[in-house]
Structure 1
């Protein structure tokens, strides 16, 4: 359970005194800082094989109903239009920042995981008729699956307000830096995490933001991007930095 989303939901549920049950795939053996936080917030963590996540969710929803609870299911990763809307709002905050500072960004880079961040930013771009180039650096998923997930979220949110051609043109999902998949890193990623913390005080992590930041630097070199205003969105997950700390130099 390295999920930032699960940690935040567990924290919110605790603050509202609502019981929280987290379904976690057993692919993660490490006791992460996020998992420790979830336990600190009194969340119940139910571990199951990845292949049985869907059934486990259904079984537990039924069990809780039978026990007299009124369970509410929150999809992992903030999927759905509410999650997309959050990054539409984020894009509009970026536009406000541009007005205040008289800076116009040419590129926006970010970690693309389950797709909500990228779909929201692209929806915000289209709704505001912006020409900024949004580049999602995939941290796990390959094309075409990863790209299709983002596309489906865009269509779910905007429907037929824009043409499919506009959607396709706006979606830049880069899977060149996935390495061996989710949570996998190399020495270059660990070096970048160390550098950014020492120089800018910015905690990145090898699973999401550190991999995306490395992917961004490689993309910039590969495409010979120069003299452009570039924004990297640090999508958070500071606790994961401390999971990596022992491996940093």
Structure 2
């Protein structure tokens, strides 16, 4: 059981934060090429908040133990649209292409084409697991843009459905229900349906109906612009660090974030590489949430996404190895001990981490992503690496950031196991 620290014992060690809802005064300052990339605002016009988690933090016990100050960045509070979460940040850089008279990245990744749409998109098409958070955010975006939305949900993706005691409820509640409330057309694909791997027949069907479909792959990671939102988030976090006046190193020494499709982590890596000097001690830990593929697969994938984002924001993260901004394999750090038995399957240990967060901090996590990230972060606090990190750098305090990427709407589908 993760031991919670009484709030009163560490409250004096955490910086004073502004009142809830008070806008930070600083704005993100991006370097030239990055600042010039088109972006359609979806998020609030203030940063998603960062606040301390005092019950999970540990005070300094000098000289033997450094204090560990844990914070949360609330991406689930980052946008006014339905079920706010990390996908809206990605979609901000995709919308300008969606609305372009000649969209460039509208095609399905299995069949790249140079064929242009003969005008702006009229319908957004995307896919995911039954309880996909991404599909909800695409559906909400479509509504605000005056576009239609088609959501393809696959029964064969992940194990959440198979582990459910009430499969009918699982495919009709939670995010599925919200997709329908948002006006999206929802198609539930049976396991083995070829459309789960190649949606081109669906896109062609829409074209015959004189629609102009725009394909957004699951998680937006395979989209050419999918990493830009979290490259920008890195600069946002750096700005917040300065305003929070963090102790110790003055930065978040460890950042824990979910790694599913991969571009959230890849974008963060690229953004921090561009914004920080050559020598940085910051550790960005991507927590894998599925055992379907080995860690090496995800490492290569995240590295690709990070380098692709790097090229778009103004530096070549692959070829300029002599550069202080070069992105190398060591920049991708993945934690794969907490993947559980399958994507979307809630195990007892992750459930316990969710309960700890709810009971200690009043924060609700989701069973697919953030629950596993919180479990990993708590384990890292228990273990010795963070303390060793502090000793090597002679730090009395270490600052840890947990990025809450949303997903709580899926909880309704897990009512029989939570």
Q: Same fold per TM (> 0.5)?
A: yes
Higher relative contact order (CA 8 A, sep 6+): 2
Q: What does the per-residue CA deviation read over 1:146-183, in whole Å, with 9 as the maximum and x for residues that have no partner?
A: 11111111122224344297421211012121121201
Q: Which deviates the most, 203-212 or 128-137? A: 128-137
More helix by share: 1
Question: Where do 5+ consecutive residues of structure 1 fail to align?
Answer: none
Q: CA RMSD in A?
A: 2.1
1:14 aligns with one of 131, 136, 143: 143
CA drift of 1:21 comes to: 0.8
CA drift of 1:237 comes to: 1.2
SS of the residue 1:229 aligns to: strand
Q: Which deviates the most, 34-43 or 159-168? A: 159-168
- 1:163 aligned onto 2:321: yes
Query: Based on CA coordinates, which of the two structures has the bigger radius of gyration?
Result: 2
Q: What does the per-residue CA deviation read over 1:100-153, in whole Å, with 9 as the maximum and x for residues that have no partner?
A: 111121100011100011001100111012431000010014311111111111
Specify whether residues 17 and 50 from structure 1 end up closer, same or farther in structure 2 by C-alpha distance, changes over 3 A only. farther
- 1:117 aligned onto 2:264: yes
SS of the residue 2:341 aligns to: coil
Q: What's the TM-score, normalizing by structure 1?
A: 0.91
Query: 1:200 & 1:246 partners in 2: Cα distance?
Result: 24
- 8 A contact 1:203–1:241 mirrored in 2: no
- Structure 1 runs (4+) deviating above 6 angstroms are none
- 8 A contact 2:149–2:185 mirrored in 1: yes
Specify whether residues 180 and 51 from structure 1 end up closer, same or farther in structure 2 by C-alpha distance, changes over 3 A only. farther
Provide the aligned length of Structure 1 versus Structure 2. 248
Query: 1:247 & 1:153 partners in 2: Cα distance?
Result: 35
- 8 A contact 1:183–1:206 mirrored in 2: yes
Question: Where do 5+ consecutive residues of structure 2 fail to align?
Answer: 1-129, 162-166, 388-396
Show the 5 A alignment for 1:13-162. 13-27=142-156, 28=161, 29=167, 30-31=170-171, 32-48=173-189, 49=191, 52-53=194-195, 57-79=199-221, 80-103=223-246, 104-129=251-276, 130-140=280-290, 141-159=293-311, 160-161=316-317, 162=320
Query: 2:211 & 2:381 partners in 1: Cα distance?
Result: 51
